[in-house]
Amino acid sequence: MTERPNHLAFQCPIPIQEYPTILLAHGGGGRLTQMLIERMFWPTFRNPALETLHDGAVLEVGGVRLAFTTDSFVVSPLFFPGGDIGELAVNGTVNDLAMCGARPLYLSLGLILEEGFPMEDLWRVVRSIQEAAQEAGVEVATGDTKVVDRGKGDGVFINTTGLGVIPPGIHVSPQWARPGDVVLISGAIAVHGIAILSVREGLEFETTLESDTAPLNGLVEVALQVAGPQVHVLRDPTRGGLSSALNEIASSAGVGIVLEEAQIPIWDEVKGACEILGLDPLYVANEGKCLAIVAPQAAEAALEALRSHPLGREAAVIGQVVEEHPGSVVLRSRVGGKRVVDMLSGEQLPRIC
Amino acid sequence: MTERPNHLAFQCPIPIQEYPTILLAHGGGGRLTQMLIERMFWPTFRNPALETLHDGAVLEVGGVRLAFTTDSFVVSPLFFPGGDIGELAVNGTVNDLAMCGARPLYLSLGLILEEGFPMEDLWRVVRSIQEAAQEAGVEVATGDTKVVDRGKGDGVFINTTGLGVIPPGIHVSPQWARPGDVVLISGAIAVHGIAILSVREGLEFETTLESDTAPLNGLVEVALQVAGPQVHVLRDPTRGGLSSALNEIASSAGVGIVLEEAQIPIWDEVKGACEILGLDPLYVANEGKCLAIVAPQAAEAALEALRSHPLGREAAVIGQVVEEHPGSVVLRSRVGGKRVVDMLSGEQLPRIC
């Protein structure tokens, strides 16, 4: 074996005593994921694109502003109420492009299949990818397929990487949240996570709760049409939920955020399931909702625009950006109390996407 | 579970009786991989970019010609003589961009980690990714980390997707091989595959055989500088080896290819290992070699240019494009016999990259 002494010259930036191995929570989108990113990935790969804490990189190539974003999907089960891993893989990356203010154009598709995976299941996933791509208006431009031996994978893992173009005049980024800005959400929270968990735990509701997976580029477009440069931040609160997404924004922009619990749309059956399962819906993943942080003078127009779109009918103003408590998110409860809502620590829902 | 009847309306395009499940060979880069691509992926995702059978897609965005390519890496073992999965993941995608005639600019990085993966191994891989990116002159612009439960992955799988820009005047594509063109290879074949297999099988040589993994963008650049538009095809013969790559080109361009066995550079120790292992070196993966198919008047200049570069010192003319036997590759042996060399069928070396 070749020795590569340069590898050994730098100590691992994660405390090995505390974290000798990777835990499920390192992939949960919360505090441990953040630790990997901030201590290991940023200092190693350091470059401006990576460090904006955006849902994707914004790159200028030949005078064109491109958005470039990647996501791997390892959801279990592969087929769930309201969707499957294929649809999720398309929508997830389309949405990350949309959250950069980009018009999604192309996807790459990387499949890691496990030996023994039923061919008809692959076909079902592939068709689902194409249907979702068509709905979102993107093309699968390039792909790769690998197969791992039985017991070294789990049916299929999917990576999609997306490429989009950002129109002139649009500049959205987590760091641009400003005190006074209004926080909007496009619809009811925690639906995807609870839909997945209901299947896993065999929970029964009167009606089947379906994942909210959907392409958000159309919804974002209507908001940008009316509020354009006054849309400062867009973000889809997936892994780690609403709370982790808002904490990232607060920390990135150096501002505080106050949430009004009573204003946050949540369906009764989702709330009930969260109570049964002991989950805080603020930390449960969404796959078809977006946060928009907009200048106060544009908030009303943005809200109306979101509500005019089929995916934004339940859009609501849920909070405000403030100067106080920079880096923190505070929830004002229905009865007037206040509590800090932190990033997800640990892992409450592994393999949700 | 939601029924999605549209999935059921289309029959699986792979014969289920024959292939009820995914086999390792579906990921081997040979005949079964090709069957998935031609019967399932192309007809489903149909679009011009996908169908060029290139190492990546060539896209025009805002007047700029971009190359866009993806690869997942599942090599086993993760660390091997001459490299590791991190270095391979960077070089593999950099090379696919270079084979489109592009200058590689950015990579995305998708990690799928298995719970329990040693943190120090992750650190070693991450540093290796950065060193390789630096050597190739690309930036890791965006990333994603997922964790799967123990026993559902294999340490780490890596997806890299690359973005590059194609300079004006450069048009390389497998379909542009023309009768009379000369086939060049940049160096000795089958090194990577045999290096990996030697570790797996515990073969001992007098010196350790190291993988040839390397970024080929610099090498390609010197060839394009002297031969520019007369370079018709570039291709790095990875999975499936020299033979599968040339078969793809012959089929894509509707031409025949004649190879001169005596001209194909191969190291004695690699030849010896192939004999011991019962492998045909024409089907063994390379990770630091490229094929260039150039117009006859530029062949001499291209060969000299390749040989002037440290990664091309053993470059050689190995064959010619012909009008006869379109779609087929024929090998003329040392003793004058001829045989058709087909695509790899089955899987001789699983998880080689």
Look up the CATH number of the domain holding residue B70.
3.30.1330.10
* Burial (Cβ within 10 Å: 0-12, 13-18, ≥19) of residue A72: buried
Q: Chain B residue closest to A79 (CA)?
A: B1
**Nearest of B250, B261, B239 to residue B328 by alpha carbon:** B250
Q: CA of A120, closest CA in chain B: separation in Å?
A: 6
Find which of A45-49, A157-161, A341-345, B205-209 is predicted with most confidence, using mean pLDDT: A157-161
Mean pLDDT within A209-227: 97
B237 and B265 both lie in a single domain = yes
Residue A201: band (very low, low, confident or very high) from pLDDT cuts 50, 70, 90: confident
The whole-angstrom separation of Cα A260 and Cα A266 is 13
pTM: 0.95
Are A209 and A199 in contact, with CB atoms under 8 Å apart?
A: no
pLDDT surpasses 80 at A244: yes
Q: Chain A residue closest to B17 (CA)?
A: A119
Q: CB-CB: which of B16, B20, B142 is closest to A50?
A: B142
Tell me which of A147, A168, A189 is where a domain ends.
A168
User: Which of B123, B127, B144, B150 is most worth mutating to test chain A (most A CB atoms within 10 A of its CB)?
Assistant: B144
Tell me which of B108, B143, B168 is where a domain ends.
B168
**Nearest of B282, B69, B6, B293 to residue B173 by alpha carbon:** B293
Q: CA of A320, closest CA in chain B: separation in Å?
A: 29
pLDDT surpasses 60 at B239: yes
Tell me the pLDDT tens digit for each residue of B157-193: 999 999 999 999 999 999 999 999 999 999 999 999 9
Contact A72 B159 (CB under 8 A): yes
Mean pLDDT within B318-324: 98
B163 and B178 both lie in a single domain = no
Q: What is the pLDDT at residue B81?
A: 95
Q: What is the pLDDT at residue B7?
A: 46
pLDDT surpasses 80 at B346: no
* Burial (Cβ within 10 Å: 0-12, 13-18, ≥19) of residue A308: middle
Mean pLDDT within A120-138: 98
Other C-beta atoms lying within 10 Å of the C-beta of residue A297: 11
Which residues of chain B have a CB within 8 Å of the CB of A59? 105-106, 141, 163
pLDDT surpasses 70 at B220: yes
Give the structural domain span for B86: 54-168
Q: Which residues face A59 on adjacent strands?
A: A66
Q: What is the pLDDT at residue A7?
A: 46
Tell me if A112 is assigned to some domain.
yes
Could you tell me how far CA B90 lies from the centroid of its own chain? 13
In angstroms, the Cα distances linking A223 to A203, A227, A238, A321 are: 36, 6, 20, 19
Contact A159 B154 (CB under 8 A): no
Q: Chain B residue closest to A353 (CA)?
A: B146
Tell me if B318 is assigned to some domain.
yes
Q: CA of B313, closest CA in chain A: separation in Å?
A: 23
Q: What is the pLDDT at residue A343?
A: 87
Mean pLDDT of chain A: 94
Could you tell me how far CA A132 lies from the centroid of its own chain? 17
Tell me if B118 is assigned to some domain.
yes
In angstroms, the Cα distances linking A274 to A242, A271, A334, A349 are: 15, 5, 18, 12
A178 and A135 both lie in a single domain = no
Q: CB-CB: which of B19, B62, B208 is closest to A64?
A: B62
Which residues of chain B have a CB within 8 Å of the CB of A119? 12, 14, 16, 19-22
Tell me if B22 is assigned to some domain.
no
How many Å is the Cα radius of gyration of chain A? 20
The whole-angstrom separation of Cα B194 and Cα B271 is 9
With tokens 């095809």, the residue in question is B233
Tell me the pLDDT tens digit for each residue of B36-84: 999 999 999 998 888 776 779 999 999 999 999 999 999 999 999 999 9
The whole-angstrom separation of Cα A175 and Cα A232 is 8
Instruction: Decide: helix, strand or coil at residue A8.
Output: helix
Other C-beta atoms lying within 10 Å of the C-beta of residue B31: 18
The whole-angstrom separation of Cα A110 and Cα B210 is 27
Q: CB-CB: which of B111, B153, B161 is closest to A161?
A: B161
Mean pLDDT within A133-147: 97
Which residues of chain A have a CB within 8 Å of the CB of B13? 123
Tell me if A270 is assigned to some domain.
yes
A161 and A189 both lie in a single domain = no
Q: Chain A residue closest to B157 (CA)?
A: A112
User: Which of A17, A70, A150 is most worth mutating to test chain B (most B CB atoms within 10 A of its CB)?
Assistant: A70
- Total residues belonging to chain B: 353
Q: What is the pLDDT at residue A204?
A: 75
Kindly write down the DSSP assignment for every residue of A101-118, as one continuous string: T-EEEEEEEEEEEETT-B
B305 and B188 both lie in a single domain = yes
Angle at A260 between CA A255 and CA A262, to 5 degrees: 165
Are B111 and B156 in contact, with CB atoms under 8 Å apart?
A: yes
Contact A112 B7 (CB under 8 A): no
Instruction: Decide: helix, strand or coil at residue A188.
Output: coil
Contact A50 B153 (CB under 8 A): no
The whole-angstrom separation of Cα B75 and Cα B82 is 13
Prediction ipTM score = 0.95
Residue B234: band (very low, low, confident or very high) from pLDDT cuts 50, 70, 90: very high
Tell me if B268 is assigned to some domain.
yes
Rama region for A56: left / alpha / beta (φ>0; ψ in -120 to 50; rest): beta
B251 and B219 both lie in a single domain = yes
Mean pLDDT within A90-118: 98
Which residues of chain B have a CB within 8 Å of the CB of A19? 119
A208 and A279 both lie in a single domain = yes
Which residues of chain A have a CB within 8 Å of the CB of B25? 147
Q: CA of B308, closest CA in chain A: separation in Å?
A: 27
The CATH number linked to A229 is 3.90.650.10
B300 and B200 both lie in a single domain = yes
Amino acid at B204: E
- Which comes out higher in pLDDT, residue A47 or A126? A126
Residue B349: band (very low, low, confident or very high) from pLDDT cuts 50, 70, 90: confident
Tell me if B12 is assigned to some domain.
no
Q: CB-CB: which of B12, B111, B115 is closest to A123?
A: B12
A121 and A260 both lie in a single domain = no
A336 and A195 both lie in a single domain = yes
- Which comes out higher in pLDDT, residue B31 or B207? B31
Tell me if A144 is assigned to some domain.
yes
Q: Chain B residue closest to A210 (CA)?
A: B2
pLDDT surpasses 80 at B143: yes
Contact A12 B119 (CB under 8 A): yes
pLDDT surpasses 90 at B150: yes
Mean pLDDT of chain B: 94
A192 and A273 both lie in a single domain = yes
A159 and A207 both lie in a single domain = no
Tell me which of B137, B168, B199 is where a domain ends.
B168
Q: CA of A8, closest CA in chain B: separation in Å?
A: 8
Which residues of chain A have a CB within 8 Å of the CB of B105? 59, 61
Question: Is the link from the previous residue into A77 a cis peptide, with omega within 30 of 0?
Answer: yes
Half-sphere exposure of B307 (CA within 13 A, CB side): 11
Q: CB-CB: which of B59, B112, B127 is closest to A157?
A: B112
Are B77 and B121 in contact, with CB atoms under 8 Å apart?
A: no
Q: CA of A260, closest CA in chain B: separation in Å?
A: 31
Are B68 and A163 in contact, with CB atoms under 8 Å apart?
A: yes
Tell me the pLDDT tens digit for each residue of A166-181: 999 999 999 999 999 9
Other C-beta atoms lying within 10 Å of the C-beta of residue B304: 14
Q: What is the pLDDT at residue B9?
A: 57
Domains held by chain B: number:
2
